[in-house]
Structure 1
Amino acid sequence: MFKNLFGKKTPQKEFITITLNAKLQPMHRADLADALSIVLDKQNIGDICGGGSLLEDNGEIQECDIEIEATDSSEQAIDHILDFLNNTLSPKGSRLSIGDKVIPFGKHEGLGLYLNGTDLPNEVYQNCDINEVWAEIEKRLGEEGSIYSYYQDSAETALYLYGNQFDVMYQLIKPYIDSYPLCQQCRIVKIA
């Protein structure tokens, strides 16, 4: 290690990459990174230094990264990071990379609700509101999950739900999606 002008050692920095198997818009990834930054500061682990998204061919987000410049990469520091993620958002299939070491993690399952944006009668689009769908799904999920992000293109609007169990989330929202006109012809996809 190098010493600075006053003879103190400069802390060695390592880079940690958190790859979340989550379809998060950049603003939603940034919200998570901001919350993680508080933990990093409190534990003197390091700072968020970047992030990004891997896109599918259609432009939908496949997964996203949060990058940390760490001054502490000890096992205890990694445990603090993983504890935070497990208590906020840690979809199955996620991983943490430091150097050549990869630590798989994740306990949450994901459900993608893809609403048909082209094939329903015009009056459905005129009389229904995606914000109502969002609010009702959040209410029905309760403690079992939450909507973390969304995606919209010319054919569909997707809501990304993450929670304890895919099957439980699906059963909780099924009566609503079966009854609300905007949810007709929707697709349900397991995303984590």
Structure 2
Amino acid sequence: MPMSQPATFVYARLNARLRPLDRAELYGDPLQEALEKSGVGEVTGGGTMQAQSGEIQYCGIDVDAYDLDRAVPLICGLLEQMGAPRGSRLEFEQDGVQREVAFGKLEGLAIYLNGTELKPEVYAESDVNHVWSEIERLMEGVGSIQSYWEGSAETALYLYGDSVNAMRERIAGFMDTYPLCERARYEVIA
């Protein structure tokens, strides 16, 4: 619902590796609902930046803000409450100057499951859905899986939570014993 003031384009760059549907469900749709209620802006789109491999690097949400002074802290606060990772930022122009406001609190951890170098029977007898549900169960209270990526040689699960170390500690025993997790690699992503 556009206000009488002209809209300012605001880009919420989320340091999150999310597929478009996950971005919309976790952040875009709830943000739109909150902005509608406040009357300070509206979500107008979103996007995903991918590496040459096709893996997601980050994603973003486009917002038209009608009251920039109220919209900026509201958007940052809402996205943090929704689980935005560290390293996220709001980008906009104000008074002819390009500005950035950092936000995000959660840490991120990517787990890359090896998809080509394990014994054939491991792939035949193991289930990535079991890996997902077991990680979610073990991380209850400290984090969750927000999205995933399937590449030609590996599958990535993107975990976000209060602490990378706490997430790794919670899942270590399972990761060390479940055959599909053999040769998994980890990368801190936020």
Superposition TM-score, scaled by structure 1 size: 0.92
Q: Runs of 5+ in structure 2 lacking a partner?
A: none
* 1:59 aligned onto 2:54: yes
Equivalent in the alignment of 1:82? 76
Aligned residues: 183
Matched to 2:60, the amino acid is D
Task: Tell me the secondary structure at the aligned position of residue 5 of structure 2.
Answer: coil
* 8 Å contact from structure 2 (residues 9, 64) kept in 1: yes
**For the pair shown, which has the larger CA radius of gyration, 1 or 2?**
1
Task: Tell me the secondary structure at the aligned position of residue 138 of structure 1.
Answer: helix
Within a 5 Å distance, the mapping from 1:19-168 to structure 2 comes to 19-31=13-25, 32-74=27-69, 76-99=70-93, 100-168=98-166
For 1:190 and 1:153, locate their aligned partners in 2 and report how far apart those are by CA, in whole Å. Answer: 18
Moved more, 9-18 or 54-63: 9-18
Shift of 1:92: 1.2
Output one character per residue of 1:35-54: Cα deviation in whole Å (capped at 9) or x when no partner.
Answer: 11111111112111111111
Equivalent in the alignment of 1:185? 183
Q: CA RMSD in A?
A: 1.2
Shift of 1:71: 1.3
Q: Runs of 5+ in structure 1 lacking a partner?
A: 1-8
For 1:190 and 1:58, locate their aligned partners in 2 and report how far apart those are by CA, in whole Å. Answer: 18
For 1:150 and 1:166, locate their aligned partners in 2 and report how far apart those are by CA, in whole Å. Answer: 17
Runs of 4+ in 1 over 4 A off after TM superposition: none
Q: Percent identity?
A: 43
Moved more, 153-162 or 49-58: 49-58
Task: Tell me the secondary structure at the aligned position of residue 143 of structure 1.
Answer: coil
